[in-house]
Structure 1
Amino acid sequence: MTIVTLLSRNVNLSQLSKLQPYIYGQNVRFFASPAKFIEHKPLEKLRNIGISAHIDSGKTTLTERILYYTGRISEMHEVKGKDNIGATMDSMELERQRGITIQSAATYTLWKDHNINIIDTPGHVDFTVEVERALRVLDGAILVLCAVGGVQSQTLTVNRQMKRYNVPCLAFINKLDRMGANPERVLQQVRSKLHHNAAFIQLPIGLESNTKGIVDIIAQKAIYFEGNFGEIVKEGEIPKNMNAEVNKRRQELIEHLSNADDTFGELYLNDAKITEKDIMDAIRRSCIKRKFTPVLVGTALKNKGVQPLLDAVINFLPNPGEVKNYALRENSDGESIKILLDSTRNDKNPFVGLAFKLEAGKFGQLIYFRCYQGMLKKSENLYNTRTRKKVRAQKLVRLHANQMEDVTEVYAGDIFAIFGIDCASGDTFVRDSKLDLSMESIYVPDSVVSMSVQTKHSKDRDNFAKGISRFTKEDPTLRFHYDTDNKESIISGMGELHLEIYAQRLEREYNCPVILGKPKVSFRETLTEPCEFDYLHKKQSGGAGQYARVIGIIEPLPPTKNTIIEFSDETVGTNVPKQFVPGVERGFRAMCEKGFLSGHKLAGIKFRLLDGMHHCVDSSEFAFFFAAQGAVKDVFEAGTWRVLEPIMMVEIVGPQEFQGSILGQLTKRKGIINFTEVVDEWFTIIAEVPLNEMFGYSAELRSSTQGKGEFTMEYVRYSPCLPEVQEQLVRQYQESLGIVIEKTQKSKN
């Protein structure tokens, strides 16, 4: 066993805490200057990777270790550390307080002469758009799995996102030091739940508190991590009690690889001698094609297994030139044609870049870019292919969490940022205005939770408008609108945590405290059968009077039109002069704004004006306006009315084992099941459920499916609500009117 120490480079051990070198084999690397990191490498020396996983699997801790061992930072800090500093990538104050990642953060570092761009993404499903846009621009990913929790709900979501963008990945089983760690069980879940052709390329030496190191199955050697921070890596012989297990796992790896890679399969079938290089090459080829997932192990918190993971990123994940990226161009027939982009790092090809994230920084709006083709220099002009507007790239920066470093030029494969450009997330930019190309946009999931929002103090309305405008632009899953029916502002997002975080950010960043509450449902009132009216409006109080008579019928519209109101002038002759008919229509529409049953809008009715009477002096449009209002009041008293409620089409996806409980929940919420299907142990249920019954369902679904269930809903139609719901609405409305009357009487007294 070879022990490598700092003394081999004449460095005193006492200097370790100050210099923080990283030692691997016989090499000692001290921290490189920023200029070293900014240096442009050839395409094969570049990697763009993301770190994705379920909540609290150790993504940010792993990124912190990667930055430390590669010399990017000189000190490590914990996500929920006692020093109140927090991890480098959690630069937002809220992230450090809560110990969670809210925004994806980008950085870049250097490892074994390779430039690695890293994006650390959130784990919470509420911030899933951050993962979407990161995976859209990355060439590879590290899927972090907890050795105890295994494949969890967000792991499944992240896996679907990787599949959507065809991103190759490595699996890293983290937290071997936790009680109950079982990497073997996690591997089985990766195969059964994620349907990956996966196998160990490393094995742990000990588990839980006995975690000592790892065994490299390919090179057949043991690796130990020593020193105060795991920075000293030693190689040695495999423990004798693990030889049988290592041989078994190596054979398993070879078999899985032979199924994924034809070249390697031929070697295996011909009983040829399989070398370490053969296995490495086969893993790389099959991993890039997403036919095989190598599984690595370690514990980031205890500083074990991170350096070999970095080696695997370089050895197995693709460089930008090995990934096919396409842009779309419309032909004369309006069809989109795919154009293959050239990733060569030179200025011969025209520049094509994608803006994948917007963020308001200290110096204005910051736009994150990925360069897919060509080169861009500082101060050059760009064209937005969506808006056709010309913009100028005044300042190019490379990002390290919330820190920035200026660069003068960027090439294909680089991830960078530009200040002060007005655009939307997913816009394509080119340098040549004649180049009519657009990159495939980012998938944005629909919002699932809505809440009413209002400022605590009326003086904060300007700040509220500024904050909401910025947040909705940065985060496409956050939506805001004003509900004219219920006279309240509605904010929609991916979950209650999502909306709560933005409420806190409004208070912290814009000094605008807000109140979140359950929004009101937009009920409607309609007539069940036709009802005739004959109303005379007459008023004489000195001077010119008011006189108008309207005769007609109000009738219900068919169910397909139960959300609208119609007015029909069917008068013949001059009993109602045509110049007064608009007054009748305005009076009718004004009365439809608020019903008498529950205070909601009237809908699904038609006002047919058949006849009437006027006075040559006292009649006016104003008089007929009041006559129409009186007619609607009469019909309300004489006719039969009912309340309509919005019905939503709800689609639920989850593991088959929870299907029974989900069906029970939907029945309890007065849902009607339209369709059920089970594919690959996952069920899909489509049901129609009243919107009023859907509040709180997001939390209930997650708790009853161990966080693995997801749902989307969209409006379908309005339908009569149940008698008990109608009674409750009428009672609440009458009580509110009683309170108003009571208050009015008190004020008079």
Structure 2
Amino acid sequence: MNPNPRNIRNIGIIAHVDAGKTTTTERILFYAGESHRMGDVSAGTTRMDFDPQERARGITISSAAITVHWNGTQINLIDTPGHIDFNIEVNRSLRVLDGAVVVFDGVAGVEPQTETNWRLADKYRVPRIAFVNKLDRLGADFLRVAAMMEERLGVKAVVVQLPIGTEGGFRGVVDLVGMRALVWNKDDASEPYRECEVPIGMREAAQQHRARLVALAVEHDEAATDAYLDGEEIGVDVLHACIRKGVLANAFVPVLAGSAYRNRGVEPLLDAVVNWLPKPGDAVNCDAQAPFAALAFKVASDDHGAMVFVRVYSGRLRRGDAVLNATTGRMERASRLYEVHADDRIERDELVAGDIAAIVGLKDTLTGHTLCDREHPVQLEQISVPEPVIHVAIEAKARNDQQALAKALHAMLREDPSLQLRQDAESGQTILSGMGELQLDVSIEKLRAKYGVEVSVGRPQVAYRETISREVGVNHVHKKQTGGPGQFAALTLRLAPLARGEGIVFESQVVGGAIPREFIPAVEAGVRRAAQAGVVAGYPCVDFVATLLDGSYHESDSSPMVFELAAAAAFRDAVAKAAPQVLEPVMAVEVVTPADYLGDCIGDLHRRRGMVRGQTMRGNAIAVEAHVPLKEMFGYIGSLRALSSGRAHYAMQFDHYEVASAREMATLLQS
């Protein structure tokens, strides 16, 4: 490993929607001197949510990057959305970040999207610290949230602070590392905290929690372990170093306390970011003298063209340099380089290993592409993109807007890889697919507001899938003689079901040249093309393995095109014999409701074919967890508000595909 000599932290702020993530980010900007006034989400004045739709809706839609400085450390910070429909933003941000701050609602605790984001951070092995926010709220319970983290996320949540006061009386924290109290006397952010003795009534609890912290932290340093076993006092600097090692090893997660809205706990959070989260070179190789390599993780378009956000992993990139896009094999030129400050940018002459910045001038670079030195090609790990579960038909209202619509959609798909576009073969309609109703709603509004295209939109439709339930083999011969060159292809194909989520696997067991090697890719292409079109109800067929067993060909009448046609026909024949099924997307739904409305909410979920999986207390409310088919969740928010006098709320995210009932399948086949 080659440590980067520059003192940098590349971090993300992630959370469930409404946990206070953007408010926390805005306070970080203020205390770090990047902003001279604090943005307010409800007032639409945030620095990071600068898109008009974000300000109008009061939510983060697109991840935003900014650079701040704290105690001599440069912090490149990415604020990510909390809504599941925009989870691709969290996914691609975590792929390039070195560390993360996970914000938890002090009342709600571990919420569904927090759990999803946590698993993504696990996937990319991103070290984390936790900030339990909103501790000034009624029902907030810091230690309960820490316990929920251990129970639901399967981590060691190590308390490093204790809140002083509860709910409306929350006024400070006990710093367990330094065994001191930090007290904020006013909500005014310009008033620094006051350092004082630990309150007498909290000293015993503080000693107990500090003992656990020390015991877990010293395990990661041999010298500290020996000193601890010898009964020596562990100094503050040594403890900080041990905590840092534990965080980098993902052995535990430090848990901090605060209320960002009340300006309490933000400065210690910044200290924790600098003290405990990794710098470039701690987790991955980061050598400024090595050949250039960077990963493109986001594309943003404006009136001046496309701006590609990159994480530089090694080497240097100067303005005007030509680089290889290893994913496409094409050369690209970086005409301008920028350090990004939300919706502002500062031009740079050079980017260096460890930087997160933006490049203008790249023509064909998309999310997940690798940029590198032409003489030293390398392919970095791609960014996974979830499959869409909902789609709508759209068309331009004015005939002369059709070309503008196509151009706008192309730009939007370049920015957001979780959106997909296709033409319906039967109706000729343009179908836009995404992760949820909100994402599609935002996209359609963007067509109007940003690109000036008015569109007509069909009703949201569920993205069903097809699959098979038993193994079957077929022999198929494609033979045509029309007076000109003939067509001949014969093949034996076997289909077998796979587990949910396995996708499509193609294998060839052809031996002895029964089918020429150059025709095998055409057979796979035919299978995949037919699978995409579907057999039963026109939905893509998934979760099967197709094995090419045998076949025969003709010297002059066989070609790749003929074998592709034969494979498609063989696939359709095989699926019809393999007990095909329709799969429907099922959502994990969490409804948080006052107890008075619990029965009505559960009854409504049952009417929607929901399966209730559990109930837990959430402050003074009850959280109901259920699995519900996506089809039944359209328009749910209006129904829930009516049932609960507007007091209940819900969150949902895609969980799995499930075989549709016979009644549901019959309905689909009739439609």
Instruction: Compute the TM-score of the two structures, normalised by the length of structure 1.
Output: 0.66
Aligned partner (choices 379, 385, 391) of residue 444 of structure 1: 385
| Aligned pairs (5 A) from 1:521-560 | none
What residue number does 1:344 align with? Answer: 287
What residue number does 2:371 align with? Answer: 429
What per-residue deviation string (whole Å, max 9, x for no partner) do you get for residues 156-196 of structure 1? 01100100100001100111111111111101001111111
What per-residue deviation string (whole Å, max 9, x for no partner) do you get for residues 115-173 of structure 1? 11000000000000000111111100000001011100011011001001000011001
The one-letter code sitting in structure 2 at the alignment partner of 1:176 is L
1:54 aligns with 2:16: yes
Q: Helix, strand or coil for the counterpart of 1:176?
A: coil
The one-letter code sitting in structure 1 at the alignment partner of 2:75 is I
What residue number does 2:83 align with? Answer: 124
What residue number does 2:631 align with? Answer: 695
406 and 521 in structure 1: CA distance in 2 versus 1, 3 angstrom threshold:
closer
What residue number does 2:433 align with? Answer: 492
Q: Helix, strand or coil for the counterpart of 1:43?
A: coil
| Aligned pairs (5 A) from 1:127-206 | 127-206=86-165
- Does the 8 A contact of 2:338 with 2:358 survive in 1? yes
Q: Helix, strand or coil for the counterpart of 2:18?
A: coil
2 CA distance for matches of 1:368 and 1:199? 34
1:481 aligns with 2:422: yes
1:64 aligns with 2:8: no
- Does the 8 A contact of 1:450 with 1:493 survive in 2? yes
696 and 508 in structure 1: CA distance in 2 versus 1, 3 angstrom threshold:
farther
Q: CA offset at residue 361 of structure 1?
A: 2.4
- Does the 8 A contact of 2:586 with 2:630 survive in 1? no
Aligned partner (choices 388, 393, 400) of residue 341 of structure 2: 400
- Does the 8 A contact of 2:317 with 2:351 survive in 1? yes
Q: CA offset at residue 725 of structure 1?
A: 7.0
Q: CA offset at residue 665 of structure 1?
A: 11
Q: CA offset at residue 398 of structure 1?
A: 0.3
1 CA distance for matches of 2:194 and 2:447? 50
1:711 aligns with 2:655: yes
1 CA distance for matches of 2:25 and 2:4? 24
Q: CA offset at residue 259 of structure 1?
A: 5.8
Aligned partner (choices 190, 194, 200) of residue 234 of structure 1: 194
2 CA distance for matches of 1:569 and 1:379? 57
Q: CA offset at residue 106 of structure 1?
A: 0.3
- Does the 8 A contact of 1:379 with 1:394 survive in 2? yes
447 and 251 in structure 1: CA distance in 2 versus 1, 3 angstrom threshold:
same
- Does the 8 A contact of 1:107 with 1:399 survive in 2? yes
2 CA distance for matches of 1:254 and 1:168? 19
Q: CA offset at residue 200 of structure 1?
A: 1.3
Q: CA offset at residue 387 of structure 1?
A: 1.9
1 CA distance for matches of 2:211 and 2:33? 36
The one-letter code sitting in structure 1 at the alignment partner of 2:32 is T
The one-letter code sitting in structure 2 at the alignment partner of 1:56 is D
- Does the 8 A contact of 2:12 with 2:94 survive in 1? yes
What residue number does 1:320 align with? Answer: 280
What residue number does 1:538 align with? Answer: none
Q: CA offset at residue 386 of structure 1?
A: 1.8
Q: CA offset at residue 647 of structure 1?
A: 1.2
- Does the 8 A contact of 2:437 with 2:460 survive in 1? no
Q: Helix, strand or coil for the counterpart of 1:442?
A: coil
70 and 406 in structure 1: CA distance in 2 versus 1, 3 angstrom threshold:
same
Query: Which fold has the larger relative contact order, with Cα–Cα distance below 8 Å and residues 6 or more apart in sequence?
Result: 2
Q: CA offset at residue 351 of structure 1?
A: 0.9
Q: CA offset at residue 697 of structure 1?
A: 4.8
1:102 aligns with 2:61: yes
Greater displacement, 696-705 / 220-229: 696-705
1:456 aligns with 2:388: no
Q: CA offset at residue 397 of structure 1?
A: 0.6
1 CA distance for matches of 2:347 and 2:478? 64
302 and 719 in structure 1: CA distance in 2 versus 1, 3 angstrom threshold:
closer
What per-residue deviation string (whole Å, max 9, x for no partner) do you get for residues 213-259 of structure 1? 21111101111235632442321112222212211221222233356
Q: CA offset at residue 94 of structure 1?
A: 0.6
Q: Helix, strand or coil for the counterpart of 1:695?
A: helix
262 and 197 in structure 1: CA distance in 2 versus 1, 3 angstrom threshold:
farther
Q: Helix, strand or coil for the counterpart of 1:426?
A: coil
443 and 267 in structure 1: CA distance in 2 versus 1, 3 angstrom threshold:
farther
1 CA distance for matches of 2:328 and 2:667? 52
- Does the 8 A contact of 2:388 with 2:463 survive in 1? no
Aligned partner (choices 281, 298, 302) of residue 258 of structure 2: 298
2 CA distance for matches of 1:694 and 1:144? 28
2 CA distance for matches of 1:87 and 1:519? 32
Q: Helix, strand or coil for the counterpart of 1:232?
A: coil
- Does the 8 A contact of 1:95 with 1:101 survive in 2? yes
The one-letter code sitting in structure 1 at the alignment partner of 2:452 is N
- Does the 8 A contact of 2:63 with 2:81 survive in 1? yes
Q: Helix, strand or coil for the counterpart of 1:515?
A: strand
Greater displacement, 236-245 / 155-164: 236-245
Aligned partner (choices 313, 323, 337) of residue 382 of structure 1: 323
2 CA distance for matches of 1:522 and 1:190? 33
Number of matched pairs:
543
1:111 aligns with 2:70: yes
What residue number does 2:41 align with? Answer: 79
What residue number does 2:208 align with? Answer: 248
2 CA distance for matches of 1:59 and 1:407? 29
Superposed CA RMSD in Å reads 4.1
Greater displacement, 187-196 / 646-655: 646-655
What residue number does 2:531 align with? Answer: none
Q: Which runs of 5+ in 2 are unaligned?
A: 465-469, 488-536, 539-578, 591-601, 614-624, 641-647
- Does the 8 A contact of 2:218 with 2:239 survive in 1? no
Q: Helix, strand or coil for the counterpart of 2:323?
A: strand
Q: CA offset at residue 344 of structure 1?
A: 3.1
The one-letter code sitting in structure 2 at the alignment partner of 1:118 is L
2 CA distance for matches of 1:560 and 1:148? 53
- Does the 8 A contact of 2:49 with 2:60 survive in 1? yes
- Does the 8 A contact of 1:357 with 1:425 survive in 2? yes
2 CA distance for matches of 1:163 and 1:47? 19
375 and 520 in structure 1: CA distance in 2 versus 1, 3 angstrom threshold:
closer
The one-letter code sitting in structure 1 at the alignment partner of 2:298 is K
1 CA distance for matches of 2:140 and 2:660? 50
Q: CA offset at residue 653 of structure 1?
A: 6.7
Instruction: Compute the TM-score of the two structures, normalised by the length of structure 2.
Output: 0.73
2 CA distance for matches of 1:522 and 1:697? 13
Structure with max Cα Rg = 1
What per-residue deviation string (whole Å, max 9, x for no partner) do you get for residues 361-393 of structure 1? 232100001110011111111111122222221
Q: Which runs of 5+ in 1 are unaligned?
A: 1-40, 325-340, 524-557, 571-576, 583-599, 602-643, 656-662, 677-683, 730-749
The one-letter code sitting in structure 2 at the alignment partner of 1:408 is D
Q: CA offset at residue 648 of structure 1?
A: 2.0
- Does the 8 A contact of 2:391 with 2:463 survive in 1? no
1 CA distance for matches of 2:399 and 2:190? 55
Q: CA offset at residue 105 of structure 1?
A: 0.3
Residue identity over aligned pairs, in percent, reads 34
